[in-house]
Amino acid sequence: MFSKFLGCVFSVSVLLICGIDFSSDCNAQDAAKQQIELLEAKLSLAEKTLELLEKECEELRKENARLKADKDKSMNEEGDQFAPGVVWVGEAKTANKPPIRWAISVSERDGRKLAGVIALTTPDGRKVEQPISGTAPATGNGLVVIETPLIGRGQMFMRGRINSGEIALAFSGTTPLGDKHFGSATLRPKN
C-alpha cells in the first residue's frame, strides 16, 4: 500500500510539475504574443510617424523654395546695388592731372548685366556723358566690368571690384581725338 501511495504521490507530483511547466509554457507564449503585439504597434506607430515627417519635410522644402524665390525677387527689386536708378559718384585720378568728378547712372539691369551712362567733368570744365554697358554683382563684393562704346576714336574700359559698398576701378581708353589716358577711380553710391 505504501508503494501505491508513493506511486500516487509521484504521479501527482509529476502532474503538478508538468502542470506548472505547462502553465509556464502558456505564460511564456502569452508574454511572447504580447511582446509581438507591442512590437507591431511600435512599428505601426513608427511608420505613421515617418509618413508625417516626410510630409512635413516636403512642406518645408516647398516653403524654403518659396522663401528663396521671394528673397531673390526682392533682392532684384530692392537690394540690387546696381538696380535701375542707382547712381555711383566719385573721383578719377590720372597721372599728373587734377582729379575728375565721375558719376555712373544705371538705367537697365538684366541679371549681372547693366547699362547706363557715365558722366564726368574734365579738368577744363567740360561735361561729358557716354553710354556704358557691363557686368556687376547684384549683392556683395565682386568683379565690376564697364565699357563705353567706340565713338570716333574714343572708348573707355573700366575694371575693378566692389568691396564693402565701394567700387575701386582701373580705367584706360582714348579720347575722341585718339589721345590715350589711364588712371583709377573710386565710386560710392549716391542714393
Same domain assignment for residues 62 and 13: yes
Burial label for 87, CB within 10 Å (0-12, 13-18, 19+), is middle
Q: Write the CATH number for 120.
A: 2.40.128.120
Q: Which of 79, 100, 115 is the last residue of a domain?
A: 79
- Give the residue numbers spanning the domain of 10: 1-79
Question: How many domains is the chain partitioned into structurally?
Answer: 2
User: Rounded to the nearest 10 degrees, how much is the dihedral formed by the CA atoms of 126, 155, 111, 91?
Assistant: -40
148 and 67 together in one domain: no
The conformation of residue 96, written as its DSSP 8-state character, comes to: T
Domain final residue pick, 59, 79, 99: 79
Residues 182 and 111 in one domain: yes
Please write down the HEC assignment for all residues of 72-84. HHHHHHHHCCCCC
Statement to judge: residues 95 and 126 lie in one domain: yes
Same domain? For 95 and 40 the reply is no
Task: Examine the domain organization and report whether 4 and 37 are in the same domain.
Answer: yes
The one-digit pLDDT tens for each residue of the chain (191 residues) are 544 544 444 444 444 444 445 556 678 888 888 999 999 999 998 899 989 889 998 998 888 888 776 655 544 455 788 999 999 999 999 888 888 899 999 999 998 999 999 998 877 888 989 999 999 998 888 999 999 998 888 889 999 999 988 999 999 988 878 888 899 999 999 86
Query: Could you tell me if 134 and 171 lie in one domain?
Result: yes
